[in-house]
Structure 1
């Protein structure tokens, strides 16, 4: 198996912080320190910039997220706001600016139902926003259980629960209980900042990456599980079932677990992209993941984000401090 570059997308005037595919896999959004979002698509066999959104934020845009329906984008910015963009009349327009965070917003993510949006910030908080009608977003809860900057927030693929990663070295799972958003579990095991999180297709496992240069796999055990993992008074318990170390030379900034192929991609400060695959013969409670391929100089500077195409197996996008977005093909998937 090998990884090869199939496109380089240029145009951003500053580092590219994030990339995210829409649900059809036909459009890719990227966000940058230049305060803009670019939406890319194919014209014939060439990737081109279809749209530029650049009037919503006053500072760098740290993350961009497509809604499940593909008609909306949420952008999280260092200006402490989140903008909601809607493609109502064929063109994206900013329909709402969500305010409340006291410092830089590091990430935003939609729930699978599209009813909720979670945002996280340097102010140590995670906000949950609910949309009651087409253009109205209201805060449904603020969670302050992290003790440091919250770097990442990601919703479960099938349930209205989400995970967050923080500078406090922990991952936390949040769920709704009697109308309140509460911490359902705290995952401890990383020795430094947790930068990125990704759920597997089932939602029973998580991949997390950290400044400690490790990739960890966590598994959810429900009450009464046959493995006799103690859950106490909780509905479930999380256990780290695999730690991959020695593969990354510097901080791992991003991880994405492909729901089509099961491959895990990582983006690293050593300028490399790496692809891992689970050994099908290994135990589900003690799995083995092997490095399938890597591209050691995928970008000229830090790779900040990787994102699998949800509709085309083996297609991966990456974003870098070198101001470029690249698209890759993993052969023999």
Structure 2
């Protein structure tokens, strides 16, 4: 039975309060929420802080365990855990990226990465944790190599976008980086095997079925053969690539448009995130969350995606980020301009 054949509701299980300004971004800590390890969530805000939330073993409720402050001097826009969960990277409008390590019960800033001319908008680790990507309002994408002793060396500054870069995201299994921008494009970056130079191998724009306005976010499915993007043009687009070709070393297979989801949000779509089991969540400036799942494959038009459920008034203001837990617990976290984070559970309707 497919997900579309089942009945679900998105049930709010907790509202997390503590930030004093809009909450921009969320990141679930890897390898938590499973095997008796409490789930851990990081959030970052316009209040210049990062908060670490941990689920209680006894009550199941999330509690704020740490507030990371007095390091960034402006809005903290993005946060991301390294694959091991040891380090947390945070990008700020103060033009720096901070690297945090947990020492005992406290988190310490062990490195500060400088170089962007102004606001850092997004941070992302590659699958092995050996590389960190950052991007910003200065239209550039930076790739940092992680060295021993919490040292970071910039190995490439990628110029190609003509406007503010909103997000960077590494492929889940290969060192391929995607970025999306205010210039309405998505760019795919890869390293040249001969020269070790990073370069753009594909630009997805409106002429290639891309978006017609700012692209705010992107996310890969767990197998890495599909990508979802969302935009100010009120659409969500699904892309596919021949992952087998890329894994075999036969070059970079281009991303091709699969389908466009439109008519589900009536204001800018800020966030889209793919769960491990293939459910796409979207959050938007209409204060709503939508969930999509694969539908029946069309014989002519190819794969389709269907609305699983909609949650209107999920927050009192814009939904800036939606993030599925990496554990198989169907927990979704959302962050909003209203200063709150909500934890949701995708579950059968009450009474069933």
TM-score, length-scaled by structure 1 = 0.94
* Structure with a larger share of its residues in strand: 1
Identify the match of residue 70 of structure 2 among 49, 52, 55.
55
Deviation at 1:90, TM superposition (A): 3.8
What's the Cα RMSD here? 1.9
In structure 2, the partner of 1:275 is: 291
Structure 2: how far apart are the matches of 1:137 and 1:309? Answer: 28
Residue number in structure 1 paired with 2:154 = 139
- Displacement, 1:235? 3.5
Question: How far apart are residue 332 of structure 1 and its match?
Answer: 3.8
1:323 maps to which residue? 339
Deviation at 1:2, TM superposition (A): 1.1
1:63 and 1:14 map into 2 onto residues whose CA distance is 14
| Deviation for aligned residue 1:135 | 1.2
Other-structure match for 1:123: 138
Could you tell me which residue of structure 1 aligns to residue 252 of structure 2?
A: 235
- Structure 1 position 202, deviation (Å): 1.5
Moved over 4 A (4+): 222-225, 280-285
1:154-188 C-alpha deviation (Å, 9 max, x unpaired): 11100111110000100011111121111111112
Q: Which residue number corresponds to residue 214 of structure 2?
A: 193
Q: Select the residue among 3, 10, 20 that pairs with 1:3.
A: 10
How many residue pairs are counted as aligned between the two chains? Answer: 325
Partner SS, residue 236 of structure 1: coil
Q: For 1:216-231, list aligned pairs within 5 A.
A: 216-221=237-242
SS at match of 2:111: strand
Q: Deviations over 1:89-141 (max 9, x none)?
A: 34210001100000100000111100000000000000000012131100010
Query: Cα deviations across residues 215-270 of structure 1 (Å, max 9, x unaligned)?
Result: 00011147989xxxxxxx963222111000011100000000012x2000001000
Cα distance in 2 for residues equivalent to 1:3 and 1:283: 31
Match of residue 230 from structure 1 = none
- Contact kept in structure 2, 1:84 and 1:94, CA below 8 Å: yes
Of 44, 67, 74 in structure 2, the residue corresponding to residue 31 of structure 1 is 44
Relative to 1, partners in 2 of residues 1:197 and 1:11: Cα closer, same or farther, differing over 3 Å? same
Q: How far is the alpha carbon of 1:39 from its aligned partner?
A: 0.5
Cα deviation digits, residues 23-62 of structure 1 (max 9, x gap): 1241000000000000001222221101110121000000
Q: Which runs of 5 or more structure 2 residues have no equivalent in the other structure?
A: 1-7, 34-38
Residue 315 of structure 2 is aligned to residue 291 of structure 1? no
Residue in 1 aligned with 2:263? 246
| Matches of 2:110 and 2:300, distance apart in 1 | 45
Match of 1:15 among 8, 11, 22: 22
Q: Which runs of 5+ in 1 are unaligned?
A: 226-232
